[in-house]
Amino acid sequence: MIKKNKSAVAAPKKRLPRNLEEWSIWMKRKGAGLFLSILRYALIICIGQIILMPILKMVSATFMSPNEVGNPVSTWIPSEFSIEHLVVAFKLLDYPKAVIYTIATTGLQMILQILSAAITGYSFARIRSKKIQKLFAIVILTIVVPPSVMTLPRYLFFRNFDIFGIITAITGNPINLLGNPVTLYLLDIFGMGLKAGLYIYIFRQFFRGLPRELEEAAHMDGCGFVGTLFRIIMPNAVPGIITVGVLSFVWNWNDTYYANLFVGNKLNLMVKLTSVSGDMQNTLWAIHSKIPGDYYFIHNSVLYQSSILTTCSMLVILPLIVLYMFIQKRFVESASNAGIVG
Q: Which of 287, 256, 231 is nearest to 89 (CA)?
A: 287
Assigned CATH topology for domain 87-341 = MetI-like fold (1.10.3720)
Q: How is the chain split into domains, by residue range? A: 87-341
Predicted confidence at residue 340, as pLDDT, reads 44
The alpha carbon torsion through 313, 317, 321, 323 (nearest 10 deg) reads 160
Secondary structure, 3-state, 5-33: CHHHHCCCCCCCCCCHHHHHHHHHHHHHH
Whether pTM > 0.85 for this model: the answer is: no
Helices (H), strands (E): how many in the chain? 16, 0
Pair 203, 120: CB distance under 8 Å: yes
Q: What is the mean pLDDT of residues 305-326?
A: 89
Q: Is the pLDDT of residue 341 over 50?
A: no
- Reported for 295-303, long-range contacts at CB under 8 A and 24+ positions apart, including other chains, are 295/66, 295/84, 295/87, 295/88, 296/66, 296/67, 296/84, 297/84, 297/88, 298/66, 301/69, 303/69, 303/70
C-alpha 61: how far from its chain's center?
A: 24
Per-residue pLDDT at 334: 67
Report the range of poorest mean pLDDT among 112-126, 195-209, 262-276, 311-325.
262-276
End-to-end, the C-alpha distance of the chain in Å comes to 53
Angle (nearest 5°) at CA 261 between 258 and 264: 95
Percent of residues, the chain, with pLDDT higher than 70: 86
Q: Taking Cα atoms as reference points, which of 219, 244, 220, 243 lies closest to residue 229?
A: 219
pLDDT in tens, 157-207: 888 888 888 888 888 888 888 888 888 899 999 888 888 899 999 999 888
- Shortest CA distance to 262 belongs to which of 177, 152, 149, 142? 177
pLDDT number for residue 10: 53
Average pLDDT, the chain: 82
pLDDT tier at 22, thresholds 50, 70, 90: low
pLDDT, mean of residues 214-221: 82
Asked whether the predicted pLDDT for residue 276 surpasses 80, the reply is yes
